Structure 1
């Protein structure tokens, strides 16, 4: 199967229901994403969906209110990614705001406990003597761990957003918008969003029972909600955009928690201009790095700290771990590309699904390797590593392309070959799984066959969606700033991209793999940068490019630049 990368323009009919404060260019961008009016383009907190339709909320709030009233020990059980870490911090902070006096947290160690609430983690939690466990961003697949917790007499509340399997775990309550029959209109909440909604429901129940001595401002948690939502790459539907927008406003105003403020500083970002992209590429990787290479407790402690000095120290540790992760990731990506070359897999004869393994890879980084190879090959990709050095058990991380539901593909393999996969879970674009090393070849063949059967030809069209061409008068700093601040942009609500043909007036290589260009169109002269765009060959004299229009803060003043995302000879 062969994939083809093309530029396709969106249909852009802006309509007329816009206030004068919205520039015409933004009206066109919003409308192309289905937002025909300011209330959809920039939803507010007042537009949030009410929690009422979330299944399981009544039982969940009852468990938490009982625990708060009777000073029971609540343990928030986090996960080792950014969504799980922020959800854990939101749970701890929020319950304390609501009057809980005995709240602590635990998070599995990837190398010791495996994923989620495992039996091994339950055994370790016994030392804390919990009364109520609250899982965040996981739990829906933790059948044995929850059963072990229940056997000890603990209550268990699952808050999760991942797709459930055929049966549900034996928890006392489950809140998950993706349960069968759940009536909550948005299925896109991240784990941190689900936990935030649970807190909203608890606050309302306490208020109605006249058991709130003072009204806690849960909006103070939205900085964390925004970071976890963006980091988990859930689609930014109107509800998620309202959450993320509110969180970004807090961060831009310097009202974020001490840990996030410190992470913004060590990442070299300007808080007042922070975007969802900065969260995705600067803050989230530093939080995630702790769970990948060390222990996510470092990341959670940073997010829970109210001491700016301590938060800065923890942020610097996370910054250093992330630098280590970047080097390890690059080595593993290089190894993966070498594996493809040794297997004789060229871009034109690539199998429908890629399955890669190296005994020296780190299990905490395989997801990033799968993501990079998926981007470069436009194929569903799974990368495996030993669960721990020398182990016969493998841990895999899968990443997919639009239209190909990776969890459903794994379910199809599991149904056709019972016992081949030990466990799996996830959603449309990302999933995780484990299996025995001896089963890898059989799984590779089964996955390739499933991908061949399920992958439709149109899915291999690697399209760069463009919002059309900008005319010469639209290349302004004002438009660049309006585009930057007009989001939040992200998964399912893509950042604006334009296309056009330009003459290449000058070019040079920067940082060994990036291409800096001066572009011309008539009398217009523009600076452009193509990250990762140097392939060893001189660029064509005339290019058709897809690009983002951004302020050039390095040059300052009225400077702008085109950030090229795709280039082809014109």
Structure 2
């Protein structure tokens, strides 16, 4: 093992006895699905529904995680004889999550069993509504549960007490995968079936939903995404093939392609229109239908981008008027005219730009202000919002992302409460973006063997970011303008080792005097059939 790779593993707190499994995430290390409480009971009821011809409705969510989870379980259940339909709530018309209204809509007509994915763990009123119409309910979710016990036939959530550490951060689609795994295991044990269903065929959906939901890519998430990316790159589903074509994604597919190209187009259906278009795309069985649906998603995404830019500009003007960023620890902005479909992504952009937890709100059809919150490391949003519970109508989510609703007259009070709650956790020094450097390296240590090991460190994402290193005594031999705002060139160190670099958002004249200390991420630059090692510069300073 090269020294730079050892530095990465040390920075990730990977113990020597964990190194092999971390670098070689194998499907055989996926745990027994029954270890996730509720999966056995859910499996028994699902098989009963199939044997008795009951109609099963999957109640999903309108984001990529909820859509992929719905597609996965629908495919598994149908393949084993299930009479299955899917219901995805409309973001604006129906609102977020499992509600009494969505129960009524989803179960309208013939429905004997309702199975949720990626929602429901705090939906007590909805569960009472299901009981009123004698509807069996299975809850599967990955969000943080409330203090009250849910009275459902089965409740599956890895954040409930007793769940193994390796699965506590599963996405909604990861929980759906565990339910499907348990369903097939139970069917085989009881002689009901399931032998002909290969869950590996669903791993592309798991990778897509898991990366899109920004959960830590560690433990079982790491295994599922690592293998799921390989399945996704094969583009065997017509919908995935069409989506990759229109998004310009090739066969060398990485997590960044999901984050910036694929997931935004699927999310756009839920943000700007009907999320069932995204589901139809993933379930399409021919390229004609898939290509038409991919064009719809692409158009929705362009519409979303245009609206998003206008909202971001408006929000930044509001921040400039209302906030002293020398002291404020959080940002809360609102406008009754902002499009409800973009508030989450705007909150993410504000959090990245200002490095503060941010909340973006708009008025919903009921007259309440509804929106999204995004956090930075070291701050659990659910805990912070819990301290503001008396000003909120409802809230829910997980550490890095949450949704909330409140009445207009509580907006100013909430702003104060939220900032006070954040101040209890974060000092003003936390408002400055920080780079976590794995260690100092020499350029000649970044050899071919290291870049082979770098592939083994993938997939990169939340919880397992791209490695960041420091190199000192660096000289620039050449630097040229790349595009409008970037610089590419060649650097060397004091030992004469040379490497190519790219510096995004920095012009050739914006570099300090040499020699430099540089902070960077190494990667392989693939372009026009070539693959060249390159350093992506994050920061450059004159050597001290």
- Tell me the TM-score normalised to structure 1 length: 0.88
Q: Please point out which of 501, 506, 512 is paired with 1:528.
A: 501
Q: Which residues of 2 match residues 270-285 of structure 1 at below 5 A?
A: 270-271=250-251, 273-285=252-264
Task: Please tell me whether the aligned partners of residues 443 and 471 of structure 2 are also in contact (alpha carbons under 8 angstroms).
Answer: no
Check if 1:168 corresponds to 2:139. no
Corresponding residue number in structure 2 for 1:97: 79
Corresponding residue number in structure 1 for 2:211: 230
Distance, in Å, in 1 between the alignment partners of 2:479 and 2:524 is: 20
Q: 1:476 to 1:444 in 2, by over 3 A?
A: same
Q: Give the root-mean-square deviation of aligned CA atoms.
A: 2.4
Distance, in Å, in 1 between the alignment partners of 2:492 and 2:322 is: 44
Distance, in Å, in 2 between the alignment partners of 1:242 and 1:32 is: 20
Corresponding residue number in structure 2 for 1:7: none
Q: CA deviation at 1:486?
A: 3.7
Corresponding residue number in structure 2 for 1:563: 536
SS of residue paired to 1:552: strand
Q: CA deviation at 1:33?
A: 2.0
Q: Please point out which of 214, 217, 231 is paired with 1:250.
A: 231
Distance, in Å, in 2 between the alignment partners of 1:429 and 1:367 is: 12
Q: Please point out which of 119, 126, 136 is paired with 2:100.
A: 119
SS of residue paired to 1:99: coil
Q: Please point out which of 377, 392, 398 is paired with 2:367.
A: 392
SS of residue paired to 1:454: coil
Q: CA deviation at 1:518?
A: 2.5
Comparing 363-372 and 115-124, the one that deviates more: 115-124
Comparing 435-444 and 545-554, the one that deviates more: 545-554
Comparing 521-530 and 316-325, the one that deviates more: 521-530
Corresponding residue number in structure 1 for 2:397: 426
Comparing 520-529 and 363-372, the one that deviates more: 520-529
Q: CA deviation at 1:326?
A: 2.1
Count of aligned positions: 536
Comparing 85-94 and 462-471, the one that deviates more: 462-471
Check if 1:345 corresponds to 2:324. yes
Check if 1:325 corresponds to 2:280. no
Structure 1: tracts of 5 or more residues without a match:
1-21
Distance, in Å, in 2 between the alignment partners of 1:194 and 1:99 is: 21
Q: Please point out which of 402, 406, 410 is paired with 1:439.
A: 410
Check if 1:259 corresponds to 2:234. no
Higher relative contact order (CA 8 A, sep 6+): 1
Distance, in Å, in 1 between the alignment partners of 2:482 and 2:314 is: 24
Task: Please tell me whether the aligned partners of residues 192 and 225 of structure 1 are also in contact (alpha carbons under 8 angstroms).
Answer: yes
SS of residue paired to 1:553: strand
SS of residue paired to 1:565: strand
Q: Please point out which of 394, 403, 407 is paired with 2:378.
A: 403
Structure 2: tracts of 5 or more residues without a match:
none
Task: Please tell me whether the aligned partners of residues 521 and 538 of structure 2 are also in contact (alpha carbons under 8 angstroms).
Answer: yes
Task: Please tell me whether the aligned partners of residues 87 and 192 of structure 1 are also in contact (alpha carbons under 8 angstroms).
Answer: yes
SS of residue paired to 1:360: coil
SS of residue paired to 1:529: strand
Task: Please tell me whether the aligned partners of residues 272 and 304 of structure 2 are also in contact (alpha carbons under 8 angstroms).
Answer: yes
Check if 1:465 corresponds to 2:436. yes
Comparing 378-387 and 166-175, the one that deviates more: 166-175
Distance, in Å, in 1 between the alignment partners of 2:466 and 2:357 is: 23
Corresponding residue number in structure 2 for 1:12: none
Corresponding residue number in structure 2 for 1:83: 65
Q: Please point out which of 552, 559, 566 is paired with 2:525.
A: 552
Q: CA deviation at 1:394?
A: 0.9
Corresponding residue number in structure 2 for 1:541: 513
Q: Please point out which of 152, 165, 168 is paired with 1:187.
A: 168
Comparing 258-267 and 150-159, the one that deviates more: 258-267
